[in-house]
Amino acid sequence: MATPMNDDSVEKLLEPFRQAVKCQGDLVKKFKDDNINKEDAEFKQAINELKLRKKALEEQITKWMPKEESIDRLKMEDLLKRRFFYDQSFSIYGGVNGLYDYGPMGCAIKANMLAEWRRHFILEEQMLEVDCSMLTPEIVLKASGHVDRFADFMVKDAKTGECFRADHLIEAHLEKLLKAKDITPEKKTEIERLLPQVDNMKGDDMHRVIVEYKMKSPITNNDLSEPVAFNLMFATSIGPTGQLKGFLRPETAQGMFVNFKRLLEFNQGRLPFAAAQIGNSFRNEISPRSGLIRVREFTMAEIEHFVDPTDKSHPKFETVANLEVQLYSASNQMSGESPQLVRLGDAVKSKLINNETLGYFIGRIYLFMTRVGVDKRKLRFRQHMSNEMAHYACDCWDAECKTSYGWVECVGCADRSAYDLTQHSKFSGEKLVAERPLAAPKKVQVNEVQAHSSIIGKSFGKDTGAITQYLQKLSHDDARVLHDKLEKGDEKITIDGKEFTITRKMFTFRTSEKTVQVEEYVPSVIEPSFGIGRIMYSMWEHNFRIRPESEQRTYFTLPPLIAPYKCAILPLSGNEEFKPFVKQISSILIHAGISHKVDTSSGTIGRRYARSDEIAIPFAITIDFDTLKQPYTVTLRDRDTFRQIRAKIDEMANILQGLSSGTITWGEICSQYPEFIEQQATKEQQ
């Protein structure tokens, strides 16, 4: 086992690994500077080597990480399930992988987090929130690219038909080989070079590796099928005929793009504006593991900020410019450097972050994450390297949280340029554009095709509709030709095998000049996209604690804003005289809208405090014998410090409201009210 060491000595140990990454990063940069073809074998090899060295560096960093930073995941998950924060869905029927239910505690935390998200983003920026259908017809997801590209490769057990995600299976197999005692140095090098490539492999490459290493099903040792691409969307059919194929949406974003015109109109035609949506999305993962990190049904909160591509400044950028945020830039990653603490103002000025709007959202995401309980030391923004980024994106930063599963992507924040609106425009035929005023009015050519149906009608009766439509749909070039011919004499046209003679009076094509004040453009989209379940999971890991007195006393230090209940109400004992006070205090808190849990069960007060700590309740009101005397008072205990104060019952709603919303701190409360020391305080009772 690695022993924790001080920062300096760890840094000395890491130095050679950092150097190795840097050397290789410089080589890759040089290739790029030389504009090398991305498919060049030597270049690909250099990229792989870089990944390999980055991985080795990450492993070293994890190895030397201070022990207090690591958590006992099993113990935490035990608590989360025992007190029903969440658990597997349908488990009385054996459960379904990748589906989870939130119990009362998880559900309350989620509701609090979403309420804060609405306040922090939607209210603050006056965003336009929408709530769109999850059922989505195929054409929409054709346009977005999901029908063609939203897939993972899978292999099947040739006999049982069990499916595995191909990349995960190959990686697990190679890692197992690496750990074998009798591995030769040559084999080791070979596998170490292969491993970082798995991520980017297509089906053919994977098949070659599976055959070469004679990989079998890890469960049955049977042969495996060739890898096939498996689309991750859940398919269904809408309506009774079975003719309208649909999917459950894989993200909420498309609902905002297809409503762009309505939203722009709602915003009176003005840009920039942001749409936002909170809702569930679905991915039919091949073999979901990693608990809440990889699930088949999940809640997202997404923002689509529409902006003029020629002006991505943000009027409120100054409010976040002084924040210091851990940025793990593409260049840091190439050089083997750690993430850097950078002032956002500097990052945008130096063009490390592409533009102010992107920088503004990174700042707002940082503030949100730390406010809901993510540990800022375990939060970084990692920039996508150019080979990770979608071809249309111009910059992308993931907010990653450090967990026992490694660094987990919790929020993506991408500048997607004009890709999405362009695609939907192409597939739907609807113009999805905004207008910007021109510096000076401009003259443009306007073409007008006109079939005069009243005149056509006189000659052709019931065929008028077909003829009018035919003429109206002519391309501008064809229309011009027809117009010119008609100047010289009548013309014959054929529709559905029938011939009609068209005269000059039936058809006009005109080109005129018009002065315009505005020009149309397709807006860019900046998209912060939040995985709520992953943020919750990270927040649980970052706030999980074990009391030094006892391994059994586990609890969560969630901030009051997010805690499922703000307060516990505990009578010191089952004494009848306490009961009316329990009822009275509960009713005061209900009236004030403060969520709370009454625990009148038997058990020592210490045991009930521990039960209340387990579900992250930050404060506990205790009714004791002094409560019975006028002026009626109770004690209020803080979960994290064990300290207690004594105050009047009447004051409780106010105190708790202040503590829950963060307008007053526990420290300030302690200085305003007398501390309460339990007469026979023992460790067990606390």
Site for its own copies in 88-107 (CB under 8 A): 89-93, 96-97, 99-104, 106-107
Site for its own copies in 226-285 (CB under 8 A): 230, 234-241, 243-244, 246, 248, 255, 258-259, 261-263, 265-266, 268, 280, 282, 284
| Window contacting its own copies (CB under 8 A); options: 161-169, 212-220, 433-441, 485-493 | 161-169
Report 332-371 residues binding its own copies (CB under 8 A): none
Distance separating alpha carbons of residues 317 and 355, to the nearest angstrom = 10
Distance from C-alpha of 177 to C-alpha of 180, rounded to nearest angstrom: 5
Q: Does the footprint of its own copies cover residue 593 (CB under 8 A)?
A: yes
C-beta atoms surrounding 570 within 10 Å: 27
Candidate list 64, 84, 500, 642; residue touching its own copies; CB under 8 A: 84
Q: Contact, 655 vs 592, CB < 8 A?
A: no
Q: Which of 99, 389, 141 is nearest to 250 (CA)?
A: 141
Closer residue to its own copies in complex, CB, 87/171: 87
Joined together, the tokens standing for residue 25 give: 């990063």
Count of residues binding its own copies (CB under 8 A)?
A: 84
Judged by CB, which is closer to its own copies: 131, or 186? 131
Query: Is 187 or 262 the residue whose CB approaches its own copies more closely?
Result: 262
What tokens does 232 get?
């991750």
State the DSSP code for 383.
E
| Least distance to its own copies, CB of residue 395, Å | 28
Binding its own copies by CB under 8 A: which of 9, 220, 428, 685? Answer: 428
For residue 589 the two structure tokens come to 């808190």
Element (H, E) at 190: helix 185-194
In the complex, minimum distance from the CB of residue 681 to its own copies, in angstroms, rounded to a whole number: 26
Question: Which parts of 544-629 fold into alpha helices (H)?
Answer: 579-591, 605-614
> Does 162 interact with its own copies (rule: CB under 8 A)?
yes
Q: Where are the beta strands (DSSP E) in 504-661?
A: 507-521, 524-531, 544-546, 554-556, 567-571, 596-598, 619-623, 633-638, 644-648
Q: Both ends of the chain: CA-CA distance in Å?
A: 35
Structure tokens at 465: 């509709």
Residue 566: CB atoms within 10 Å: 23
Half-sphere exposure of 569 (CA within 13 A, CB side): 23
In whole angstroms, how close is the CB of 148 to its own copies at the nearest point? 17
Nearer to its own copies, 109 or 327 (CB): 109
For residues 479 and 449, the answer to whether their CB atoms sit within 8 Å is yes
Binding mask 394-413 for its own copies (x = CB under 8 A): --------------------
Per-residue burial over 278-306, b = 16 or more CB atoms within 10 Å of its CB, e = otherwise? bbebbbbbbebeebbbbbbbbbbbbbbbb
Q: Tell whether residue 601 is a contact of its own copies (CB under 8 A).
A: yes
Contact letters for its own copies, residues 113-142 (x by CB under 8 A): --x--xx---xx-x-xxxxxxxxxx-xx--
Report, in Å, the least distance between residue 426 CB and its own copies: 12
Closer by beta carbon to its own copies, 129 or else 226: 129
Does 532 engage in binding with its own copies (CB under 8 A)?
A: no
Among 18, 51, 54, 83, binds its own copies (CB under 8 A): 83
Q: What is the DSSP string of 26-89?
A: HHHHHHHHTT--TT-HHHHHHHHHHHHHHHHHHHHHHHTS-GGG---HHHHHHHHHHTTSEEET
The piece of 59-67, 153-161, 196-204, 454-462 that touches its own copies (CB under 8 A) is 153-161
The answer to whether 422 contacts its own copies (rule: CB under 8 A) is no
Tell which positions 297-326 bind its own copies, by CB under 8 A: 297
Build a one-symbol-per-residue string for 471-510: x at contacts with its own copies by CB under 8 A, - elsewhere: ----------------------------------------
Our finding on whether 78 is near its own copies (CB under 8 A) is: no
Chain residues 646-675 in contact with its own copies, contact rule CB under 8 A: none
Least separation in angstroms between residue 538's CB and its own copies is 18
Least distance to its own copies, CB of residue 80, Å: 12
**Distance in Å, CB of 238 to its own copies, minimum:** 6
